[in-house]
A and B are shown apart, each in its own frame.
Chain A
Amino acid sequence: QSALTQPASVSGSPGQSITISCTGTSSDIGSHYLVSWYQQHPGKVPKLMIHEVTERPSGVSNRFSGSKSGNTASLTISGLQAEDEADYYCCSYAGGTNVIFGGGTKLTVL
């Protein structure tokens, strides 16, 4: 099973909105509403930001939102803040007992 495809990097200025895409196939993202997103600061542990495509865990800022269309899921961060600078990973259930991650996107806040 190939990894999900994410852009290597995205950037934005404070206050702006950015969107990170995550492209899979009809066997994973396209077939299930089980997409999650993780934020990882350098040297830190991944943190769950979004689950089940659009659901935000308690404590996660409402500036983070998720969506899905066809085989592509997206994470949008609005009102960018310096603390949002991190790596972001998508993850999707892929059937059976199979889950796959994206290669990660480095977000730079200019």
Chain B
Amino acid sequence: QVQLQQSGPGLVKPSQTLSLTCAVSGDSVSSSTATWSWVRQSPSRGLEWLGRTYYRSKWYYDYALSVKSRLAIYPDISKNQFSLQLNSVTPEDTAVYYCVRDRSGFKWYFDLWGRGILVTVSS
């Protein structure tokens, strides 16, 4: 059974870096078909795709324009996981963060979701 197990802090101070990790079991982050994304959900912004990583002979990274300058997503092949780092956070970044899989690769649907982590940005 494929699962995504998320970890990371639930509270981050403004201007600091938000770091989350998603451990993949039952699939490979190096899959040649799937892509691995982060999506967040907040009352003010709704559901928002943030970015993704995937492997097709080399690693690729795509980011939403709204966070491109502050976001990095990177895989850890040895641990079969991928991580998110969002810099210079503000209270507007308060949201539930989900790691998700698109098993189709490029048909942009998310068939597997992690349980989500509520991250609050507050001093």
Q: Which of B47-73 contact A (CB under 8 A)?
A: 47-49, 52, 62-65
Q: A3-B46, A45-B98, A89-B47 are in contact. Are A99 and B116 (CB under 8 A)?
A: no
- Give the docked Cα–Cα distance between A48 and B98 (Å): 14
Determine chain B's interface SS by DSSP, over half rule. loop
Most buried by A among B62, B63, B110, B114: B110
Interface residues of B (CB under 8 A from A): 46-49, 52, 62-65, 98, 104, 107-111, 113-116
The distance from the CB of B116 to the nearest CB of chain A, in whole angstroms, is: 6
Number of A interface residues, CB 8 Å? 24
List 7 additional A-B contacts (Cβ < 8 Å) besides A91-B110, A97-B64, A101-B46.
A34-B107, A45-B98, A47-B113, A51-B109, A93-B108, A97-B63, A99-B49
